[in-house]
Amino acid sequence: MIASAAPRQVVPVSLVRSAPETGGLSALDRVGQRLARGLEEFFTGLVSRPTRVSVAGPVIDEAGPTGSTAVRLVRIDPFGGAMTVAVGYAELARLTDLFYGGEGRDGLVRQRPFPSEERLLDRIAGAVCELMPAAWQPVAAIAPQLDEEAEPDPGPAVVQMFAVAIEDVAIEERAEFTFACRYPLELLGSLAGPRPGASAAGSEDGWQARLMESALTVRFPVRAVFAEPTLAVAQLLKLRPGDILPVCLPGAIELRVGGRTVARGAAGESNGRTAVRVEQQ
């Protein structure tokens, strides 16, 4: 997926205080630092060299990634919207050379990444996706996942630039490359604060209520256990169509979610269907 070129206008922004441009999010710096610490282990294993990952302060980018940038989209559930992991062609080429045992050299000019570079970008975006829930945990509970169908948000975004330094004297002149995580302003407004002109229900503390509301709509399968007969293996092997297994209904029917009993009740009938009336939680 390749983003089109656009004029770039970058404006520094502070997320330490509530600001209408950022939807009141006050912890993105700490989120980036936690993400950087997790990425150090990932990149160290990726290039088989010790690495150090640092993150710059967030900035607002009015334009999208340039035309020489490869991107992957990470959908942020349950809030909707997607953030972008963006890596420049040159950075991606040098990292791929390191991955395959080189010294981070690549002087080729290309219109799009090679397949091997695309696959490496998938791995980087996948690592970001796996690390994001823990990085965001103090701010919001999120469930990110790679989304191949989504398109980059063309609107303004808050950008965090990560620098990956390869600590190897043999490649000192080519020891660092960068990539960006781009959060659309609309997405940040959903995650951690009000959008411009939002009502009091979307205040700085409103994200907790919205998170709880979203969590309460999650559906789980509930099993009503009427009987659990026990048979020997020899009996199981002899079962044939028409055989009858005698069972006795217990006095209390268990309701289970994920293998855990959440309530007990009595068996009965409601509107012509077998039902369980909850009597104990």
pLDDT tens, the chain, 281 aa long:
444 444 444 444 433 333 344 444 456 888 888 899 999 889 888 888 888 899 988 888 776 666 788 889 998 887 778 888 988 888 888 888 888 877 776 656 677 788 888 898 999 999 999 999 888 887 778 888 888 776 666 778 888 999 988 876 555 555 578 889 988 887 777 665 443 334 444 444 566 666 666 666 667 788 888 787 888 888 888 888 888 888 777 778 888 877 778 888 888 877 778 888 888 87
Write the DSSP symbol of residue 200.
G
Please report the pLDDT score of residue 128 as a whole number: 92
pLDDT reported for residue 208: 64
With contact defined as beta carbons under 8 Å apart, do 55 and 179 qualify? no
Q: Taking a C-beta distance cutoff of 8 angstroms, is the pair 107, 98 a contact?
A: no
Q: What is this structure's pTM?
A: 0.57
Instruction: Note the pLDDT of residue 127.
Output: 92
Do strands 59-61 and 10-12 pair parallel, antiparallel, or not at all (unpaired)?
antiparallel
What integer pLDDT is reported at residue 156 of this predicted model?
80
d(CA 85, CA 31): 15
Residues 20 and 14: their CA atoms lie apart, in Å, by 11
Question: How do the residues of the chain divide into helix, strand and coil, expressed in percent and rounded to 5?
Answer: 30, 30, 40
Going along the chain from its start, the domains and CATH numbers come out as 10-216 (3.40.1550.10), 223-280 (2.30.330.10)
The tokens for 196 are 């411009």
The confidence score (pLDDT) of residue 202 equals 44
